[in-house]
Chain A
Amino acid sequence: DAKTTQPPSMDCAEGRAANLPCNHSTISGNEYVYWYRQIHSQGPQYIIHGLKNNETNEMASLIITEDRKSSTLILPHATLRDTAVYYCIVRDPQDYKLSFGAGTTVTVRA
């Protein structure tokens, strides 16, 4: 019972912005959108999260549509080290379970 839909893979040129889409049409009012990534053989890494406003931190920006049914993670200047599987997760913060779907495999090419 997937809560999010992401494309299975995408390529990005080094130095360009990477825009990663996520659909979450059944999101409920108290659920946040979280993004994580997992670089091969490493632990998952938290990137950013948001409820309804756009958010930016040192790693990325998160754009959430007004109806909250979809969002986009933006990596402003992709580097080779950004090659990873990116996971969009919709979650009630009080729910301890963190469910990772299949994610999007992002390959940054020189």
Chain B
Amino acid sequence: NAGVTQTPKFQVLKTGQSMTLQCAQDMNHNSMYWYRQDPGMGLRLIYYSASEGTTDKGEVPNGYNVSRLNKREFSLRLESAAPSQTSVYFCASSGSHYEQYFGPGTRLTVT
């Protein structure tokens, strides 16, 4: 039981490049989330998916798109990366009591 997995672990992009961050969970959870965490700051919700087939904006959705591919997978896409998107990105899924389980994170640098 791997929990929540994320790929890649590290990524460096040039301004304007695009990329997709992948997330998968094997806990049969309905809800999944994408957060970003900037140095010394708390988590900020980018997008979430309450169930398969639905997605909703969080606090900081600008510059991002998401796809809930199936119940297991929830991807985050940066269409045109900007230096302000340099951050650590965490994916999470929530269990039956709405507790959230997080992946190990993707460390993204945009130059």
A residues with CB within 8 A of B: 32, 34, 36, 41-46, 49, 91, 93-94, 96-102
Contacts and interface: CB of A to CB of B under 8 A. Distances in A.
Given A96-B50, A97-B45, 18 more contacts: A34-B99, A36-B100, A42-B104, A43-B90, A43-B92, A43-B105, A44-B90, A46-B101, A46-B102, A49-B99, A93-B98, A96-B31, A96-B33, A96-B56, A96-B58, A97-B58, A98-B92, A100-B42
Contacts of B100: 36, 44, 46, 98
Contacts of B90: 43-44
24 contacts: A32-B98, A34-B99, A36-B100, A42-B105, A43-B92, A43-B102, A43-B104, A44-B43, A44-B100, A45-B102, A46-B100, A46-B101, A49-B99, A93-B97, A94-B98, A96-B33, A96-B45, A96-B56, A97-B45, A98-B35, A98-B45, A100-B42, A100-B43, A102-B42
